[in-house]
Structure 1
Amino acid sequence: MIPEIVFKPGFYLVGIKYEGRNENEEISELWKKFNLRISEIKSKVSNNERFGLNIYGEKFLATGEFTYLAAVAVEKIEEVPEGMAVAALDPAKYAVFTLPGQREKLPKLIHDIYCRHLKKHGLKPVGNYDFEFYTGKDLIYFYVPIEYGKRG
């Protein structure tokens, strides 16, 4: 797995949030719920692109709990539909891994990225988040923010 190194300007996401450990496939259910409500979101950058934002807070190392946002990018924050949340991502340099589009394999692939592939390529992750980017194709693009001074 060889990552592509990219710089991405800051952007906003609007979507539905889940907090927990995803022990019972809650994120799959979240996506179903989100896809039914996506038309409520104004100023979408694209109708075909989706983001799965993972935020790792203080509980993550102790309990495995994290926050997940099933979302779309928006050009500007207008009215946020009831029950939805906003995330603002700052400009950042990312290692982008292209993965097969099977969500059930994501946890193992993400584990491998953090435990082997980043180090193998001399990359150091920064921040407390990463995200999946879906374009409607059978691929998932997994973005990990990395130190600016490293490769690329």
Structure 2
Amino acid sequence: MDEPAMRSRDAFTVVGLGYRGANEDGEISALWARVTDYTDEFAALATGDEWYGVCTEVDESSGTVSYVAGVAAGPDATVPAEMEAADVPANEYAVFPVTLADLESDLDAIYGEWLPEAAYRRADGPEFECYGSAFDGTPESEFEYFLPVVEG
């Protein structure tokens, strides 16, 4: 695995559709498919061109996650009733290029190989995916995976 880029990010808020569960039947992929139902709402909320998938909570004992798929919104944005907000605090991040096709194996390598050997440890805060304008939704298309880290 290649070394990740290290980047600092200011705090921001993602507003989008939420999911809580074990993602056993592709529910997060289905959540992303529903995003297109809210094109106008997202256009009004977005402060940039990127889309985000934010993993706000992971319960290792039950295997469940809380996840929000959406856009970065301004501080005064009104969250539509069918959506929720995920606050992402300012942090230092290890940023990995990943693809949909290899996401599971990439995450296994990040947590099983890179992190145990790195000069960093996982920091508090959510990890997230950032889909830039070049992402086209195909399995081979790249996006970035942000893992919050601190030295030590």
1:142 and 2:142 are equivalent in the alignment: no
Deviation at 1:63, TM superposition (A): 1.3
CA 1:43–1:16 in 2, change beyond 3 Å: closer, same or farther?
A: closer
Q: Structure 1 length normalisation: TM-score?
A: 0.86
Matched, 1:44 2:46: yes
Q: Which runs of 5+ in 1 are unaligned?
A: none
Please state how far the C-alpha of 1:128 moved relative to its aligned partner: 4.8
Deviation at 1:87, TM superposition (A): 1.3
Counterpart residue identity of residue 93, structure 1: E
- CA shift at 1:13, angstroms? 0.6
The aligned residue for residue 88 of structure 2 is 89
2:26 maps to which residue? Answer: 25
Count of paired positions? 144
C-alpha change, 1:10 and 1:128, in structure 2 (3 Å) is closer
* Percent identity of paired positions between Structure 1 and Structure 2: 26
Q: 1:109 aligns with which of 75, 99, 106?
A: 106
Counterpart residue type for residue 132 of structure 1? E
Indicate the structure with greater strand content: 2
Residue pair 1:10, 1:88 contacting (<8 A) in 2 also: yes
Q: Secondary structure at the match of 2:103?
A: helix
State how far apart, in whole Å, the 2-side matches of 1:26 and 1:55 are: 16
Secondary structure of 1:111's partner?
Answer: helix
What residue number does 2:138 align with? none
Task: State the 1:94 CA deviation.
Answer: 0.5
Per-residue deviation, 1:104: 4.2
1:39-68: per-residue Cα shift (whole Å, max 9, x none)? 21334112x3110111234xx211110101
- 8 A contact 1:43–1:76 mirrored in 2: no
- Given that 1:12 and 1:77 are in contact with CA atoms closer than 8 Å, whether structure 2 keeps it comes out as no
Contact in 1 for aligned 2:50/2:131 (Cα 8 Å): yes
1:73 is matched with: 72
